[in-house]
Amino acid sequence: MNKTLIVIGYGNELLSDDSIGQRVAKALHLSNGKSIAVHQLTPELAEVLADTELAVFIDACLATKTSQVQIQLLSPESLNVIAGHTADPRSLLALTKALYGYCPQAWWVTVPGANFELGENLSPLAEQGIEIAIDKINHLIKTARKELCMKLE
């Protein structure tokens, strides 16, 4: 197994701020991993996750008064059924574990947005959130890698 880092940004590029996940994934420059931008999480990504030591999922969320970029540690959760051809990160991790007997350490980064209507322009909130998310993800990757290396020693 060639263990690596993967960042998966997802969302609809035609629904304004819903494209945040894809935009963050495209903006990241990873020297020790792979960053992909997809419209939605699909079961086929389980194979990629099975060969990964650290996964970061990035998605947009609807802003509230106290909305900030949030980072949450994930664990596989099979209660979230994969509906049709789409999944959320927890159900995708559960599928990965069921099929391959393993799933990576995973984090879910949600970035607030204000405009989810048809269009390609980002709201100011989304633009600011993207910059914050990139910084937080870079820090998360450095910290998580150090922790993984310490466990292996």
Mean pLDDT by 10 residues, the chain (153 residues): 80 95 95 91 92 94 86 78 64 92 94 94 96 95 73 52
Domain coverage including residue 97: 5-152
pLDDT at 29: 87
Give CA separation, 6 vs 15, 55, 58, 75, 79, in Å: 25, 5, 11, 16, 24
Q: Hey, CA dihedral for 108, 111, 112, 118, is it positive or negative? A: negative
pLDDT at 16: 94
pLDDT at 72: 93
CA 92 to CA 88: how far, in whole Å? 6
Helix (H) or strand (E) holding 139: helix 124-152
* CATH number of the structural domain spanning residue 43: 3.40.50.1450
pLDDT at 85: 44
- Whether this prediction's pTM lies above 0.85 is answered by yes
pLDDT at 75: 85
Question: Number of folded domains in the chain?
Answer: 1
pLDDT at 30: 87
Give CA separation, 109 vs 38, 44, 98, 99, 153, in Å: 15, 21, 24, 25, 28
Angle (nearest 5°) at CA 129 between 35 and 32: 25
DSSP assignment string, 48-81 = HHTT-SEEEEEEEEE--TT---EEEEE---TTS-
